[in-house]
Chains A and B, each alone.
Chain A
Amino acid sequence: MTAIAVSTTINGDDVEYLCQPDETLLDVLRNRLGLMGTKEGCGTGDCGACSTIMDGRVVCSCLVLGAEAQGRSIETIEGMAQGAELHPLQRKFIEHAALQCGICTPGFLIAAKALLEEKPDPTEEEIRFWLAGNLCRCTGYDKIVRAVQDAAREMRGEAA
C-alpha cells in the first residue's frame, strides 16, 4: 500500500504526516504523532473514548480515516489546557472526582467541551443525552454530570 501525505491542523498547529489508506485517525494520533491522550476503547464507535473534535463536530476518531483529516481542523485533549492552566472542565472533573481509571476521561472532556461551546447552559437531560456515546465503566455518570454542570456555571461567569 502506498502511504498518503496529509496536511491538517491539530490543536491549532499545522501538521503533516504520512499514513496508510486504511489507518484510522485514532491510530495516526497515537502511533504516528505521539498524541496518546486520545484513547482506544472499543475501536468501533460505541464507547467514545477516542472522541476528538473535527471541524467543530465531536466524532469518534476510530471511525475517521487518517487520510480524511486532509484540510480539516482537529482538536484533541492535548489542546484543551492552556499551558499549565487546566480547562475549567478538567479542573471540575478533578474537583468532583469524576474519574477513576481515566481511560474514558479525555473522551468525556472533549465531548463536554463541544457541548458547552454549542450550548453554554444545558439541562441535566441535555448533558446526559449528549454524553450518552461516552461510556464509563468505573465511576458512573452522576459525578461526571455534576462536573460538567459546575464547569458550565463557571464558564458562564456564575458563582459556584
Chain B
Amino acid sequence: MRYERPETITDATALLENAPDRAFVLAGGTDLLVRMQNDDFEAELVVDIKSIAGMTEISETQDAFVVGAGVPCAALSENAALVAAWPGVVEAANLIGSTQIQGRCTMAGNLCNASPAADSVPALVAAGAQVRIAGPSGLRTAAVEDVPQSPGKTSLKKGEFIEAIELAKPGPRSGDAYLRFIPRTEMDIAVVGVGVRLVLDDAGVVTSARIALGAVGPKVLLVKEAADAVIGTGLDDAALDALATACSDAATPIDDKRGTVEFRKEVAGVLARRAARIAYTRAGGSQ
C-alpha cells in the first residue's frame, strides 16, 4: 500500500485519477481503517486529503456554511453559528459513534461510505445540502441525495472526491430536525432515521418541506409525497397523519433481527411525525 498526503486538490485528483482500482480517500478513517483490518481488504493507494488547505475548516460565505471534507463531526457542535442554523444536521452528525469516533469521523466520509443507515445523510438531504466534488476536469456540485447509489456505492467517478459540503444559510422561520430509532439507548446503527426541514410563513403555514428517510432502503430516500402532505398546512393532526402514512408507504426496508419490515415502516412514520414537530417548533411555529 502507498500512502500519499497531497497538499493541493490538483495533486489529489491526479493521484486518484492515475491510481489503481484499489485507491481510497482518507478523511477521518473511521470506516476505512476498520475495513483495512480485514484480511480480504486490500488498498493499493490511500490519499489522505487533510493536508489540503481548507479541508479541516468550517468557513462561511455570504450565503452558505462550507464544511471541509476533513472536518471531524465533533467540530460541528463547537461552531455556534452552524448549530443555530442547522441544529438537526449537527445533532445527526453527533450521533455517529463515540467521543473517540467523533474526534475523527466526517460528514463527507459518512456520505461516501454509502451506508444506507448513515445518520448525517438524511439530515443533509432534508437540509438541501450540496457537495463540492473535485475532479480531474475541475469542480462540480451535486445534491447530497445524488451521491449514494446503493450500499457501498457512490456516483463519484474515478479521480473525484468530495472537497466540502455546503449548507445554505437558512432564512427566517425555518427549522430542521433528525431522529433515529436504535435498539440500544446509545451508540448504535440506525434502524430508521428521519430528517425533516420545514419553512413557514408568518401565519405558521408550511411553505416548503423536505423529508428524508435513512436505513429503510438501499439509499437515502427523499420523500416528495411526505413534503406535499404538510405544505400548505399548519402541521395539524391530519397533516401529521398524512405525513406519517407517506413515510411508511415510501419505506422499502430490509427484514432483519434489528427490525422487521413492518416495524421499520411503522417507525418511519412515527419518527417523521416527531421530527416534523421539532422542526416546526424550531421554525418558530406553535401548534
Which residues on the B side are within 8 Å of A43 (C-beta)? 37
Instruction: Check A67–B101 contact: CB distance below 8 A.
Output: no
Give the complex CA separation of A54 and B43 in angstroms: 25
- Given A58-B103, A129-B186, A133-B100; A65-B74 close (CB under 8 Å): no
Give the complex CA separation of A57 and B46 in angstroms: 23
- Given A59-B103, A133-B99; A44-B34 close (CB under 8 Å): yes
Q: Which of A60, A114, A132 has the most CB of B within 10 A?
A: A60
Give the complex CA separation of A58 and B74 in angstroms: 10
Instruction: Check A22–B36 contact: CB distance below 8 A.
Output: yes
Q: Tell me, yes or no, whether B187 is within 8 Å of chain A by CB.
A: yes
Q: Mark interface residues in A30-63 (1 if CB within 8 Å of B CB, else 0).
A: 0000000000000111001001001001111011
Q: Tell me, yes or no, whether A149 is within 8 Å of chain B by CB.
A: no
- Given A63-B34, A65-B29; A132-B186 close (CB under 8 Å): yes
Which residues on the B side are within 8 Å of A133 (C-beta)? 97-101, 187
Interface residues of A in 68-117 (CB under 8 A from B): 68, 70, 111, 114-115
Interface residues of B in 69-120 (CB under 8 A from A): 72, 74, 97-101, 103-104
Whole-angstrom distance from the CB of A65 to the nearest CB of chain B?
A: 7
Which residues on the B side are within 8 Å of A21 (C-beta)? 1-3, 46
Give the size range of B's interface with the partner.
Answer: 20 to 34
Whole-angstrom distance from the CB of A45 to the nearest CB of chain B?
A: 6
Give the complex CA separation of A44 and B46 in angstroms: 18
Whole-angstrom distance from the CB of A74 to the nearest CB of chain B?
A: 13
Which residues on the A side are within 8 Å of B50 (C-beta)? 68
Q: Tell me, yes or no, whether B281 is within 8 Å of chain A by CB.
A: no
Q: Tell me, yes or no, whether B48 is within 8 Å of chain A by CB.
A: yes
Give the complex CA separation of A129 and B3 in angstroms: 34
Query: Do most interface residues of chain A lie in helix, strand or loop, or is the interface mixed?
Result: mixed
Instruction: Check B46–A63 contact: CB distance below 8 A.
Output: no
Q: Tell me, yes or no, whether B33 is within 8 Å of chain A by CB.
A: yes
Instruction: Check B97–A1 contact: CB distance below 8 A.
Output: no
- Given A65-B33, A67-B5; A45-B97 close (CB under 8 Å): yes
Q: Tell me, yes or no, whether B30 is within 8 Å of chain A by CB.
A: yes
Instruction: Check B33–A51 contact: CB distance below 8 A.
Output: no
Q: Which residue on A lies nearest to B103, using beta carbons? A: A57
Which residues on the B side are within 8 Å of A115 (C-beta)? 99
Q: Mark interface residues in B217-239 (1 if CB within 8 Å of A CB, else 0).
A: 00000000000000000000000
Q: Which residue on B lies nearest to A107, using beta carbons? A: B100
Instruction: Check B72–A57 contact: CB distance below 8 A.
Output: yes
29 A-B residue pairings within 8 Å (CB atoms):
A22-B43, A43-B37, A45-B34, A45-B100, A45-B101, A48-B100, A54-B103, A57-B104, A58-B99, A58-B103, A59-B103, A60-B100, A60-B101, A60-B104, A63-B101, A64-B29, A64-B33, A64-B104, A65-B3, A67-B5, A68-B48, A68-B50, A115-B99, A129-B99, A132-B98, A132-B99, A133-B98, A133-B101, A133-B187
Closest 9 A/B residue pairs (Cβ): A133-B98, A57-B103, A21-B3, A63-B33, A59-B103, A60-B100, A22-B1, A133-B100, A44-B34
- On B, residues with C-beta under 8 Å from A are 1-3, 5, 26, 29-30, 33-34, 36-37, 43, 46, 48, 50, 72, 74, 97-101, 103-104, 186-187
- On A, residues with C-beta under 8 Å from B are 1, 4, 21-22, 24, 43-45, 48, 51, 54, 57-60, 62-65, 67-68, 70, 111, 114-115, 129-134
With A48-B100, A60-B101 known, 15 other A-B pairs at CB within 8 A are A22-B1, A22-B3, A22-B46, A44-B34, A45-B97, A45-B100, A59-B104, A64-B29, A65-B26, A67-B48, A68-B29, A68-B48, A111-B100, A133-B97, A133-B101
